[in-house]
Amino acid sequence: MSDERSIVAAFLKRCNRYAEDSIERKRARGDLAEIPRWEAYIDFNNHALEEIANGTLDKWFTETSEDQVPLHRLPVDDMEHVERSTWLNSVLSPRPVVVAGTVDDAGKRNFAPLSSVMQVSTAPPYLTASFSIHKDGRPRDTMSNLRATGKILLNLMPATPRGAAIVDETATPLPKGDDEAQLLALETLDGQPLLLREAVAAIEATFVEEHPLPDAVAKLAVLKVEAVWFSNTTMPSGGMNVLCQHGRDDMTPAPSGWTQRVEKHYG
């Protein structure tokens, strides 16, 4: 649908350019009678462009049928693990993927992708992330390193095939102590062995506590944000174009379609 909206928007903008040129020609000839009609035409197109941008006209680009209305209740307890995972990842999607950098108590690095990081508080600034275990019952290296050293750096990756390749390679199961950064020869900043040079931004955090999840092998870790790493000191005006997980296994750019600001939550 984003391609269709872009095509229509480009057409309307071209129509406006044609209309503006026509107005200039009419003014040059002294033919002023038709100009108000052309100006109204431009105003109409601009209104349509605004509604395309803010999503008002999305329904024009997709036909909603009874098949698309959420009529069916599907109890997740009746699903196998993969089916349940696919449903949840598809519905709660997309979400950013970070490459988490940690070190163990011997100073050896580990990099691993996480798609469960969520901001849960800004005062104090807390994040949460869930950590499963290996099939043999061992905790994930990232969780073990958090327990040992208490430090983590969350690299936000660019929304490019290279960013997706970094996520894929750092997800490779390696023996404990092996450095995933060597798989792709990843470069880090001088003096910051966990901060990937190719990251769009990064969040530096410390381990606060962990909580067992009821009837689950996964643990929920609470992380306190200590700093944000960015290319300059100017705050971004909106969301960043970072790599996201869409569905169970697909990597995708952050949504780049229409944007509409909501501010009523400020009171």
* 92 and 12 housed in the same domain: no
pLDDT, tens only, 168-225: 888 887 777 667 667 778 889 999 999 999 999 999 999 999 999 998 889 999 999 9
pLDDT, tens only, 139-176: 889 999 999 999 999 999 998 999 999 998 888 877 77
* 106 and 221 housed in the same domain: yes
* 44 and 13 housed in the same domain: yes
* 37 and 142 housed in the same domain: no
The domain that holds 166 is classified in CATH as 2.30.110.10
Residue 131's pLDDT is what? 93
Final residue of a structural domain among 37, 62, 87: 62
Residue 228 burial (CB < 10 Å; 0-12/13-18/19+)? middle
User: Is 137 inside any structural domain?
Assistant: yes
Average pLDDT over every residue of 38-53: 90
User: Is 262 inside any structural domain?
Assistant: no
**Do the Cβ atoms of 124 and 136 come closer than 8 Å?**
no
User: Is 261 inside any structural domain?
Assistant: no
* 91 and 24 housed in the same domain: no
Final residue of a structural domain among 36, 62, 88: 62
CA distance 49 to 8: 9
* 54 and 92 housed in the same domain: no
* 51 and 115 housed in the same domain: no
* 126 and 58 housed in the same domain: no
Domain count along the chain: 2
**Do the Cβ atoms of 114 and 146 come closer than 8 Å?**
no
pTM of the full structure? 0.70
User: Is 34 inside any structural domain?
Assistant: yes
pLDDT at 4 over 90: no
User: pLDDT tier at 259 (50, 70, 90 boundaries)?
Assistant: low
* 210 and 250 housed in the same domain: yes
* 55 and 106 housed in the same domain: no
* 55 and 83 housed in the same domain: no
User: Is 74 inside any structural domain?
Assistant: no
**Do the Cβ atoms of 143 and 131 come closer than 8 Å?**
yes
Percentage of residues in the chain with pLDDT exceeding 70?
88
pLDDT, tens only, 106-129: 999 999 999 999 999 988 999 999
* 163 and 91 housed in the same domain: yes
User: Is 133 inside any structural domain?
Assistant: yes
**Do the Cβ atoms of 185 and 143 come closer than 8 Å?**
no
User: Is 69 inside any structural domain?
Assistant: no
Q: Which domain holds residue 224?
A: 79-231+242-254
User: Is 265 inside any structural domain?
Assistant: no
Residue 65's pLDDT is what? 52
> What's the Cα-to-Cα distance from 41 to each of 13, 18, 36, 46, 263, rounded to whole Å?
12, 11, 9, 9, 32
